[in-house]
Amino acid sequence: MKIMICDDSMFVRKKMKNAVATADAEAEIIEAVNGVQAVEKYKTEKPDLVFMDIIMPEKSGVEALTEIIAFDKNAKVVMASSVGTQENLKQAILAGAYDFLQKPIEDDDVAKIIAKASK
């Protein structure tokens, strides 16, 4: 699987990379640091699964999700949300999010989503 991790926090990206590698050691991992880069990389790399933070600079995760879904209606984009961003999460689900994760993210939750997406 090709998996893109999009978060403006280097710490969160590192934690997510470790969780993805634990769940699927052979996964190819792509990183994006904001919503603009996420859309650009999605179009060029066409990952099988995307983990995207909702709150990011330049373009929010919901805006990036909307553009990605417009480009590929079958995109599997998992939105990550911290406490207090429930309204954003609702917008993400309405925009076509594949699933969502609550921060802090647990490795088991990442593994379950990867297993579901690879079916």
29 lies in some domain: no
* 95 in any annotated domain: yes
Query: What is the reported pTM?
Result: 0.94
**Would you say residue 104 lies in a domain?**
yes
As a whole-number percent, the residues of the chain with pLDDT over 70 amount to 97
Question: In sequence order, what DSSP letters do the residues of 2-45 get, joined into one string?
Answer: EEEEE-S-HHHHHHHHHHHHHH-TT-EEEEESSHHHHHHHHHHH
The CATH code of the domain that includes 106 is: 3.40.50.2300
Cα of first residue to Cα of last residue in the chain, in angstroms, is 11
Q: Are 6 and 53 in contact (CB under 8 A)?
A: yes
| pLDDT number for residue 93 | 85
Give pLDDT tens digits for 38-96.
Answer: 999 999 999 999 999 998 889 999 999 999 999 999 999 999 987 656 777 788 889 99
Residue written as tokens 């994006």? 32
In a domain, 94, yes or no: yes
**What is the number of domains present in the chain?**
1
Establish if 10 belongs to a structural domain.
Answer: yes
Q: What is the mean pLDDT of the chain?
A: 93
**pLDDT attached to residue 64:** 97
What local confidence, expressed as pLDDT, does residue 9 receive?
93
For residue 40, what are the domain limits?
A: 2-23+34-117
